[in-house]
Chains A and B, each alone.
Chain A
Amino acid sequence: MSRVVSSSTESAVSPAPAAAPVTMAAALNQALADSLAADERVVVFGEDVGALGGVFRVTDGLAARFGERRVFDTPLAEAGIVGTAIGMAMNGLVPVVEMQFDAFAYPAFEQVTSHLAKLHNRTRGRLALPVVIRVPFGGGIGGVEHHSDSSEAYYTHTPGLRVVTPGTPADAYLLLRQAIGCPDPVLFLEPKRRYWSRETAVLGMDGPSIDRAVVRRPGRDVTLIAYGGMVATALEAASAAVEEGWDVEVIDLRSLSPFDDETVAASVCRTGRAVIVHEAAGFGGYGAEVAARLTERCFHYLEAPILRVTGFDIPYPPPHLERFHLPNTDRILDAIARLQWEDGDRG
């Protein structure tokens, strides 16, 4: 099934899907609408997701179209949202809930880590929780404190959760549909700085499965590993690297947990060099796990140490200072330059 996003909030079904410019927010909205239409068990709820359509408008028009039994506002309490989603899933619904911002999901942490992630295991698989928690995450939008956290490592360190994040509008559609169809609980991290990025694409279900990484740009010299909001940054850096003579491969991880060892290790064993990029603080960050796994699998193929380009080990900066914190093309190129190049290595 493929659908084309129209500019209106109503989903338009086109008999002959054609590529059209679409933002990530609109693609996510379309994924929610199509999931609600396809499966009557799906319910969407959270803070301000009803009449307002969410603070990022990702649920725009859904309450009007599907009614208050399918799409509804809740009291302002994140543990309550996740805790009740667990109970609803126990009773046969497929809740897709919204946390308004990354740092505002923390009150739900106990429900996520102690129950959502563990009830399937606790009950020897008798109780499945097909819950999706949508979390707008990361910085780059000039948000004040608590509106720009990269919280992925808190969740990837929790067995039982799937953690996924899209890097492009088309993949936002696909990944969210896959997350809603997945029997496991899924933390769905939406890179808020890319909500308004446009891509000309047909939104559909064709593509890699929920747990696979993809090569967004093939290259021979070095593998750039990114996810979420950093995928576009990594692609920009890869383009800029051409001038320096580096042929950069860019991998979009998509699924942070489970991790697609196969795709990523194959790339790094081929290029012999790897740089991991993320916004989150480097210390104890997700990139450390990626670097360790690649060292275990690709050591004898490596021409240089695996490097990380990450945010500093500081609380997320205020808006006027965030540009100093976030990884950018220059930092990525600097990291690539430090990968012990010798004559004849490039191209």
Chain B
Amino acid sequence: MKTQYARRGEATAADGLLPTATPLQLIDADGHPGGNPGSLSLPEPEVLVELHRRMVLGRRFDSQSTALAKQGRLAVYPSSRGQDACQVGAALALRRQDWLFPTYRDSMAVLTRGVPAEETLTLLRGDWHCGYDPYQYRVAPQCTPLATNTLHAVGLAYAARLKDQDQVALALLGDGATSEGDTHEALNFAGVWKAPVVFLVQNNGYAISVPLAKQTAAPTLAAKGIGYGIPSLLIDGNDAAAVYAAVRAGVSRAAAGDGPTLIEALTYRIEAHTNADDATRYRASAEVSGWLSRDPITRLEAYLRGAGLLDDSAAARLTAEAERLAEDVRERMNADVSVDPAELFEHVYARPTAALSRQRDELLSELEEPAS
């Protein structure tokens, strides 16, 4: 049936837009290749080795950060343990010129993108809101308000297209964030503009305490893509190979001018929402242990050992590298934080206003007064 409205082409069919009913998988939970590859193909061996290495490093960074939060050295730490495959697979799939738009739970992805651990943890330690130069790593500041970063990613990507630059933006979001209006607007803008963006939804089952069943009535989160004319993939988010391959495919599509891709990765948050949360109030320990047995690192390690890509001595070297990283993080985070109260006024505007300069001077003279 033809309508009187001008539409985007003649096709109204959903061909190619819907995700598969079961998640795509390249390496199964026991480390066997095959699974349910669909359109995805297994990354090269050196990529798989690197995915494993970065997950081991990321996991150690994450456990060290959780410990530092418990010791009071970090103001808070939202762990991404369990989501290691999503974090590392996504970050490694980006090319040098691409941009990552992470949330507060994506510290492992930020680290994997090349941001030094100390700069990654500045926000969570609490000495400033963002510790790294976004342009140096092409990593946007970690976003605390949910879903707002998705629109920034679309805007940055569309600007690249307007400037004829080959640049793709990857927006990270969680299952809870898909309920926010900004996610809807970002998917819609991206679809209409054919913006070179990849949306990766890390569906870890919970928005703090609220389970997915209370978040959406959609059959899957990936299924939402069809409403925006965006092709979507449902993948096993604990399979680093699948995450890497899916994000890579999205990046390639975007770079070719074919527009955005929506990926839903099924995974699980092993730790509580943050160190301040008590997850036993809303989920059963059997559920957690079930997911622990589907650990993304164990799975890839089994595959690599089976394929002759990892042996005991390489594994021992990697463990030692991870311990050195943890030690470095401990040392840096246990050092006293140096903060400058004058800086509070420095970056509000490109140049401090007269009023802000007065307030800075008032604060500094207040600090100079001898303690009585």
Contacts and interface: CB of A to CB of B under 8 A. Distances in A.
Interface in A195-241: 211
Given A122-B141, A124-B130, A79 B156 contact: no
A77 B151 CA distance: 11
Contacts of A159: 348
B129 A122 contact: yes
B221 interface: no
B162 interface: yes
Interface in B144-175: 145, 148, 150-160, 162-163, 167, 169
A278 B151 CA distance: 35
Contacts of A310: none
A311 to B, nearest CB: 26
Contacts of A184: 349-350
B155 A91 contact: yes
Contact of B189 (A69, A80, A90, A118): A80
Interface in A59-86: 69, 74-75, 77, 79-80, 82-86
A87 B346 contact: no
B188 A87 contact: no
Contact of A79 (B135, B141, B181): B181
A128 interface: yes
Contact of A75 (B134, B152, B158, B185): B185
A147 B2 CA distance: 37
A120 B348 contact: yes
B130 A123 contact: yes
A83 B347 contact: no
A325 interface: no
A87 B185 contact: no
A114 B145 contact: yes
Interface string A249-261: 0000000001101
B154 A87 contact: yes
Contact of B355 (A107, A114, A261): A261
Interface in B165-213: 167, 169, 181-182, 185-186, 188-189, 192
A338 interface: no
Interface residues of A, number: 47
Q: Is the interface of B mostly helix, strand, loop or mixed?
A: helix
A207 B195 CA distance: 40
A79 B182 contact: yes
A91 to B, nearest CB: 4
Given A87-B169, A120-B348, A111 B355 contact: no
Contacts of A69: 162
Given A80-B189, A160-B348, A88 B182 contact: no
Interface in A86-135: 86-93, 95, 107, 110-111, 114-115, 118-128
Given A121-B129, A125-B347, A92 B163 contact: yes
A275 interface: no
A43 interface: yes
Contacts of B354: 258, 261-262
Contacts of B148: 83, 110-111, 114-115
B145 A110 contact: yes
Contacts of A114: 145, 148
A79 B140 contact: no
A139 B348 CA distance: 31
Given A91-B163, A120-B349, A83 B133 contact: no
Interface residues of B, number: 41
Given A120-B347, A123-B133, A184-B350, A43 B162 contact: yes
A88 B158 contact: yes
Nearest to A70: B162
A90 B349 contact: no
Given A91-B163, A122-B130, A79 B151 contact: yes
A86 B155 contact: yes
A90 B347 contact: no
A129 B93 CA distance: 28
Interface in A237-286: 258-259, 261-262
A83 B145 contact: no
Contact of B159 (A74, A87, A183, A259): A87
B334 interface: no
Interface in B317-372: 343, 346-350, 353-355
B128 interface: yes
B57 to A, nearest CB: 25
Contacts of A89: 155
A211 B357 CA distance: 15
Contacts of B134: 90, 123, 126-127
Given A90-B140, A110-B145, A124-B128, A77 B157 contact: no
Given A92-B163, A93-B162, A80 B128 contact: no
Nearest to B353: A258
Contacts of A107: 181
Nearest to A159: B348
Given A86-B155, A87-B151, A111-B151, A74 B189 contact: yes
A160 B192 contact: no
Nearest to B152: A87
Given A93-B159, A93-B162, A122-B129, A86 B152 contact: yes
B188 A83 contact: no
Contacts of B154: 80, 83-84, 87
Contact of A83 (B159, B160, B186, B355): B186
A90 B153 CA distance: 10
12 contacts: A77-B185, A80-B186, A83-B150, A87-B151, A88-B155, A107-B181, A120-B349, A122-B128, A122-B129, A124-B130, A124-B346, A126-B135
> What 6 A-B pairs come out closest when comparing CB atoms?
A87-B155, A83-B151, A84-B155, A80-B185, A91-B159, A87-B156
Given A75-B189, A87-B156, A123-B141, 6 more contacts: A84-B151, A88-B159, A91-B155, A120-B350, A127-B134, A258-B349
